[in-house]
Amino acid sequence: MIDQDFINVSKVDAFISPTSGVPVIVCYLEDGREFNLFYVPPDIVNAINKLMKNESTDFNLSEKARRETVYDIISFIPEIAEYLEKRITKVVIDGILDDIYIATVELNFGGLVIQKRMIPSHAIYLALLTNKPIKVKRELVEKSSD
C-alpha cells in the first residue's frame, strides 16, 4: 500500500441524522472532502460522542433502559486504552464488499505487524480512543462521490 493511495482523516463526527434518523459517521478528509458511513450501529455513535466529550446522544432512553456498553468499559479503564495505544499503529478504511465498507486495523507486537479486518465504525472508535491516524483509500472516496 503506497501512502498516496490514501487520504488522512482530520476530524470525525458521529450523529443521528435529524431528517432521516439514520446513524452516521462523517470523516472529514485533509483534502476538504467528506467520507460518510451510514447506518452505523447507534451504540458506536454514542461511544464516539462520549469519547469526544460531545453532548450525550442516548436516543431518549429512559434512565432504566440505559445500559453500559463494551465501549463504556474500555474507556472507563485507562490501562486498556494505554495497552491498545501501544499496539495499534493505524486504521485504514480500505475495502468494500457488497456496498459494505471494510477497515483494517494494524497492530504491532514488538516488530510483528498483524492486520485485522474490522467494521469501520468500530475501527474508527479504536483510532479515536488511542489517538492513532485514520486513513481512507482514495479509490473509495472517489466512488462515494459518484
**Structural domain includes residue 85:** yes
How many independent structural domains does the chain possess? 1
**Structural domain includes residue 62:** no
Q: Which domain holds residue 133?
A: 3-57+67-145
Q: pLDDT tens-digit profile of 25-75? A: 999 999 999 999 999 999 999 999 999 987 555 555 555 567 888 998 998
**Structural domain includes residue 15:** yes
Q: What is the CATH number of the domain that holds 81?
A: 3.10.690.10
**CA proximity to 93, closest of 133, 61, 48:** 133
Q: pLDDT tens-digit profile of 23-33? A: 999 999 999 99
Let me know: does 91 contact 103? Beta carbons within 8 Å. yes
Let me know: does 44 contact 73? Beta carbons within 8 Å. no
pTM over 0.85: yes
